[in-house]
């Protein structure tokens, strides 16, 4: 299917991807068309063995081989200088390319059987929360693509970490399940973490997916309480903002955690839990599922708690800042 120019949605350990033959310009163009994705927002190329890097990248620095040896297969994408022969349509017209080897048996087998690296963004309509189940794919793209491979819910629930290795200093472009500490341990050097990677700013040029344009957003207005404080202070901040919206006639839902959801409900607020703060990987896994669920609950506004920006928490806050219609930075 891939080699004949078709589009196949497939599971990875992060989210479901929408795959095309990365060397087929027409097939890659169809990915952008079906997703309604801006043409300057590059695809990530998925490989099943490191030898495939030679046909994609112009050269691979030593740190790139370190990643391949120590972190692949896994949820880590590296950005390299692209080969002259690699199609520009797949890289959004950039002279660089993002590559990873997924840690999911279905994804790896699909690349192997297709006998070509597969270019794949997330298998959703552009701007929507990424799909973590095959049903999410069908909800967004049903009837528009050739095949959906269903392997159940994905493991991590947020997209891969992306690091740019084309400069002297590794530069984090998008946080993900592979944390900054883990990345620095693999690379043996410090990694630059910009305001764009944190989700505070939008890049002028999309050097990697998720750096430009609004992403991950439900149709419902999402308000992120982006303040710091202890658990009690955060809860009062959420209640204060929720009460203000309810007083103006809005139907409000609070996106909470296991530790706080019952407190909001006791105060008369509609609330659901995204996971536990004692293990933020549960929040990451559930994040897109719950953002999609918001649209089915008949509310006009969803208010979300913030999370500590350590480990996977950095990725969660990046996604929430990109998805939010409004960020409350102080009270």
Task: Delimit the domains of the chain by residue range.
Answer: 8-198, 221-328
Q: With b meaning 16 or more CB within 10 Å and e meaning fewer, what string describes 21-56?
A: bbbbeebbebbbebbebeeebbbbbbbbebebbeeb
Residue among 99, 119, 120 at smallest CA distance from 49: 99
- Summarised one tens digit per residue, pLDDT across range 285-314 is 999 999 999 999 999 999 999 999 999 999
Fold of 221-328: Rossmann fold (3.40.50)
User: What band does 199 get if pLDDT is binned at 50, 70 and 90?
Assistant: confident
Q: Which of 34-48, 147-161, 198-212 has the lowest mean pLDDT?
A: 198-212
Within this chain, domains 8-198 and 221-328 share the same CATH topology? no
What's the pLDDT score for residue 212? Answer: 57
Please state, for a pLDDT cut of 70, what percent of the chain lies above it.
96
- Summarised one tens digit per residue, pLDDT across range 227-286 is 988 888 999 999 999 999 999 999 999 999 999 999 999 999 999 999 999 999 999 999
**Residue 211: exposure state from Cβ atoms within 10 A (0-12, 13-18, ≥19):** buried
What's the pLDDT score for residue 179? Answer: 97
What's the pLDDT score for residue 194? Answer: 87
What's the pLDDT score for residue 260? Answer: 95
- Summarised one tens digit per residue, pLDDT across range 86-121 is 999 999 999 999 999 999 999 999 999 999 999 999
Fold of 8-198: DHBP synthase (3.90.870)
Mean residue pLDDT of the chain comes to: 95
What's the pLDDT score for residue 4? Answer: 96
Residue 163's φ and ψ, nearest 5 degrees, are -125, 135
């Amino acid at each position: 299917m891939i080699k004949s120019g078709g589009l196949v949605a497939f599971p990875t350990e992060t989210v479901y991807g929408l795959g095309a033959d990365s060397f087929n310009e027409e097939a890659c163009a169809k990915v952008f068309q079906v997703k309604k994705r801006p043409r300057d927002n590059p695809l990530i190329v998925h490989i099943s063995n490191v030898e495939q890097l030679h046909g994609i990248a112009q050269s691979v620095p030593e740190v790139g081989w370190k990643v391949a040896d120590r972190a692949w297969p896994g949820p880590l994408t590296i950005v390299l200088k692209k080969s002259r022969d690699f199609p520009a349509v797949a890289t959004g017209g950039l002279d660089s390319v993002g590559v990873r080897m997924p840690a999911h048996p279905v994804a790896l087998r699909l690349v192997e059987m297709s006998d070509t690296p597969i270019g794949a963004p997330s298998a959703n309509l552009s701007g929507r929360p990424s799909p973590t189940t095959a049903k999410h794919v069908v909800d967004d793209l049903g009837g528009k693509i050739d095949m959906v491979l269903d392997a159940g819910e994905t493991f991590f629930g947020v997209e891969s970490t992306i690091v740019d290795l084309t400069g002297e200093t590794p530069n984090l472009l998008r946080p993900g399940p592979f944390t900054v500490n883990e990345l620095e341990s693999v690379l043996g050097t410090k990694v630059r973490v910009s305001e764009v990677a944190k989700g505070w700013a939008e890049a002028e040029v999309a050097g990697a997916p998720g750096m430009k344009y609004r992403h991950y957003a439900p149709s419902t207005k999402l308000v992120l309480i982006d303040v710091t404080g202890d658990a009690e202070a955060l809860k009062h901040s959420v209640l204060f903002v929720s009460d203000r919206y309810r007083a103006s006639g809005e139907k409000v839902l609070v996106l909470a955690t296991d530790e706080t959801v019952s407190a909001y409900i006791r105060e008369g607020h509609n609330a659901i839990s995204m996971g536990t703060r004692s293990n933020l990987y549960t929040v990451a896994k559930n994040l897109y599922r719950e953002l999609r669920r918001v649209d089915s609950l008949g509310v006009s506004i969803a208010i979300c708690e913030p999370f500590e920006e350590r480990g996977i928490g950095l990725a969660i806050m990046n996604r929430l800042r990109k998805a939010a219609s409004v960020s409350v930075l102080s009270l």
